[in-house]
Amino acid sequence: MDNIVLENISPKYFTPRNIEQSEIWKKNISFRKGEKLLIVAPSGSGKSTLATAVLGTHFQYEGNIKYDQETVKNLHLEKIVENRKDGVSLLFQDVRLIKNLTISENILLRVFNKDRKKFIPKMEEYASRLGIENLLQKKAENCSYGERQRSAIVRSLINPTNFLIYDECFSHLDLNNKKIAFSLINEVSQESGSCVIFFELNEFPFEHNYQILHL
């Protein structure tokens, strides 16, 4: 998958705030592999609705979303799920770690159908970069929300998809940890050629070269 195309989409059952001023709703826009995007989306603008629609978890919108030339609404569920292995992934706002599994077990779920052993060094390296290497054998339910966010970021990066989508993934991190996590995401996505799309309430409080779009 090299492109995600949005064709004149808008939510079906509610009208986001400032929809007429949106740079995405009711527009024709493409996200391309390798691009870096920051979508600024205040509360009530439909941020999570758009993020989950792009992932293919619902079709509650007018217009079309396409993976390359394939309209997502027309794809079989198996094909949509298949695309999540290498095509598109979303770090949900609630991070969705399994509470009674350890952090390392949660991270390695991303490679459940592959040889997990070869991903362990990468997991340990990224965990160390984010300051959570001492939490890998700790159950997720016993970690703080910020620790779980950093763990979920590691999970998203050990086998990165072509499109990495992050829905407020830094919300419980202090400024220093935000910068470290942002740097790691940039580094890994640069190596993999992934497109990165951040959904945030506000612009980042540090310098970056991402294209900014307002939802």
* Cα gap 9→2, rounded to integer Å: 20
pLDDT tens by residue, 138-151: 999 999 999 999 99
Contact 154, 132 (CB under 8 A): yes
* Cα gap 11→160, rounded to integer Å: 28
Residue 176 burial (10 A CB sphere; 0-12, 13-18, 19+): exposed
Provide the pLDDT for residue 160.
Answer: 96
Domain ranges of the chain: 3-214
Q: Largest Cα–Cα distance in the chain?
A: 50
* Cα gap 75→4, rounded to integer Å: 14
Q: Is the pLDDT of residue 42 over 90?
A: no
Question: Residues 29-50: what's their mean pLDDT?
Answer: 94
pLDDT tens by residue, 85-139: 999 999 999 999 999 999 999 999 999 777 889 999 999 999 999 999 999 999 9
Can you give the pTM of this predicted structure?
Answer: 0.95
Q: Options 3.80.10.10, 3.30.390.30, 2.60.40.1120, 3.40.50.300; which CATH number does 3-214 get?
A: 3.40.50.300
